[in-house]
Amino acid sequence: MKKNDWLPLARKLDWKFKYVTEAEVFPPQMSGTPWLKHHDWKQWEEPYKTTYSEYVRGQAAKDAGLDAMREAVGNSEHYKTLSPAWLNSLKLYGATFPLAEFAATIGNLRACRFARDSAWRMSACFGALDEFRHTQIPLLLMQDLVKIDGQFDWTQRFYHTNNWVAIAARHLVDELLLTSNPIEFAIATNFVFETGFTNLQFVGLASLAQGVGDKMFEKMVKSIQSDESRHAQIGPAVMKILVQHDKEYAQFLLDKWFWRSWLLFAVVTGFSMDYFTPLEHRKQSFKEFMEEWVLKQFLGTLDRFGLKKPWYWDQFLQATENYHHMVYASAYTYRATVWFDFVVPGPEERKWLKEKYPGSWPAYEPIWDRISECWRESDPGNDLAVHGTAIVTFCELCQLVLSNGTPNQNSACESVYQGKKHIFCSEPCRRIFEAEPERYCDHKDVVNRVLTGEAPANVVALIRRYFGLDYDTWGKDVYQGQYAWNPADKKGGDR
């Protein structure tokens, strides 16, 4: 039989239950709310329809393409020819994405069983297979690189540690991917994360990888994105029905997950685009990629559903000019607390950043002036000479350092819940917490872990014993602070 003769029937295999009620088969705790009868979901339709045999054939061809590329350029010799600054994009991606993709397998599998229409469940089943692929491919490719650089071992290790970035990433991933019901998963993951944001990392960053000469990364993320764009269509299909029945909830989920996703991509993609990509290979700034993929394309999607921009839109626009610069500067001065290395933007990079961020960059100049000055005055090669020593404070929602706002005005704020004071990096994080405080209030951030004796208070002990790093793997300045444009002040400084 031809596909079109049988697929329309096979996609829709829902039936009436005789011995149990629909609510027993699809309890709201597992299937999500608003809880509607199947009658209301049966118009659910994915625009791109596929069969299992088509799926398998297509995926096998993609994997063959990747194998051929791995054969040609996947070896460690090739990686030694790439910019050492760029490699940190891979370390950041390798640690934060592959095992989160595995969590997305689980989120999809829940939808596979508890989503409310059979076509939706089948699409989620393909999504689960996709996400498992997105776990395996980078784990395999990054494993090859461990022998050239032990920091790549964090591809496997990261989510199994109590590193502060891992605590933040788990806080997001646990909620977004592991515990979401199929409705929240479809809006948060398929609609916001995969329709709005993954293009930044998988299309935008892939185009930079091409310039850098990292063909393997380019091929890998493009291959991953081809799956994402297929299963992301679950999101708009669910959104279409959700807005008809509970538009307010749809807007709530959109506002919440747009902000949470933004913070993650600002760090992972923002650092890679504006700091780790060598200047000669930069095409657009992170903000320009945001404008293209998120502001233009995604906002158009919101319009189609009659949804509004998130309420914090002005704060978000200000954050696109500042947030990743704030976190990068802050993380640079605490680089031994992470598993990848950093670079100081030199005069040429700073000129470029000023052109791209005319309204915000001048406020960052004094920070980098001061860091450059510290390097000039320190002993060559003493990486910890230019490093913070006190434990910093974290947001109790996103678990990242309190680095929202601008260098002149940090936007940290507080909220009291059940007599306990909580601190947040920004108003959106505070309001997300306040909307579902019981969901978040028992989570301990790093500072609370120190205060309760779970984690050591001394920074070096914290890094070694709690974050799981040692001298070989912790983050350093890629060039040990020795830049031709920043010669040492010291007499006899031989660099």
Taking every pair of C-alpha atoms in the chain, what is the biggest distance, in angstroms? Answer: 88
Footprint of Mn ion on 88-117 (CB under 5 A): 101
DSSP H or E run through 10? helix 3-11
Task: Render 252-307 in DSSP notation, one character per residue.
Answer: HHHHHHHHHHHHHHHHHHHHIIIIIS-GGG--S-HHHHHIIIIIIIIHHHHHHTTP
Residues 19 and 363: their CA atoms lie apart, in Å, by 67
Query: Which CB sits closer to Mn ion, 129 or 267?
Result: 129
Query: Which CB sits closer to Mn ion, 131 or 255?
Result: 131
The HSE-up count of residue 58 (CA atoms within 13 Å, CB side) is 14
Q: How far is the CB of 121 from Mn ion (least distance, A)?
A: 16
Query: Which CB sits closer to Mn ion, 223 or 337?
Result: 223
Compute the chain's Rg from CA coordinates.
23
Q: How far is the CB of 188 from Mn ion (least distance, A)?
A: 11
Task: Render 126-189 in DSSP notation, one character per residue.
Answer: HHHHHHHHHHHHHHHHHHTTTTT-GGGGHHHHGGGS--HHHHHHHHHHIIIIIS--HHHHIIII
Instruction: Count interface residues toward Mn ion (CB under 5 A).
Output: 5
The correct pick among 134, 171, 230, 476 for binding Mn ion (CB under 5 A) is 134
Q: How far is the CB of 330 from Mn ion (least distance, A)?
A: 29
Question: Looking up tokens 């999504």, which residue turns up?
Answer: 127
Q: How far is the CB of 326 from Mn ion (least distance, A)?
A: 28
Q: How far is the CB of 137 from Mn ion (least distance, A)?
A: 10
Strands 413-417 and 420-424: antiparallel
Q: What does each C-alpha distance from 105 to 133, 158, 185, 424, 425 come to in angstroms? A: 9, 18, 11, 30, 30
The HSE-up count of residue 349 (CA atoms within 13 Å, CB side) is 20
Footprint of Mn ion on 170-199 (CB under 5 A): 194
Q: How far is the CB of 266 from Mn ion (least distance, A)?
A: 19
Per-residue contact flags (x/-) with Mn ion for residues 405 to 444, judged by CB under 5 A = ----------------------------------------
Query: Which CB sits closer to Mn ion, 201 or 251?
Result: 201
Q: Cβ-count burial of 148 within 10 angstroms (0-12 exposed, 13-18 middle, 19+ buried)? A: middle
Query: Which CB sits closer to Mn ion, 134 or 260?
Result: 134
Q: Which residue is nearest to Mn ion (CB)?
A: 134
Single-letter amino acid, residue 57: R
Q: How far is the CB of 160 from Mn ion (least distance, A)?
A: 20
Stretch that binds Mn ion, among 127-135, 211-219, 394-402, 407-415 (CB under 5 A): 127-135
Q: How far is the CB of 240 from Mn ion (least distance, A)?
A: 19
Query: Which CB sits closer to Mn ion, 228 or 321?
Result: 228
Q: How far is the CB of 220 from Mn ion (least distance, A)?
A: 12
Question: Is the Cβ–Cβ distance between 390 and 459 less than 8 Å?
Answer: yes
Footprint of Mn ion on 14-73 (CB under 5 A): none
Query: Which CB sits closer to Mn ion, 153 or 194?
Result: 194
Q: Which of 405, 390, 264, 403 is nearest to 330 (CA)?
A: 403
Query: Which CB sits closer to Mn ion, 101 or 149?
Result: 101
Query: Which CB sits closer to Mn ion, 134 or 171?
Result: 134
Per-residue contact flags (x/-) with Mn ion for residues 135 to 174, judged by CB under 5 A = ----------------------------------------
Query: Which CB sits closer to Mn ion, 96 or 320?
Result: 96
Residues 338 and 334: their CA atoms lie apart, in Å, by 8
Q: How far is the CB of 101 from Mn ion (least distance, A)?
A: 4
Q: Which of 267, 314, 352 is nearest to 91 (CA)?
A: 267
Footprint of Mn ion on 217-236 (CB under 5 A): 228
Stretch that binds Mn ion, among 133-141, 165-173, 215-223, 475-483 (CB under 5 A): 133-141
Contact residues for Mn ion, defined by CB under 5 A: 101, 131, 134, 194, 228
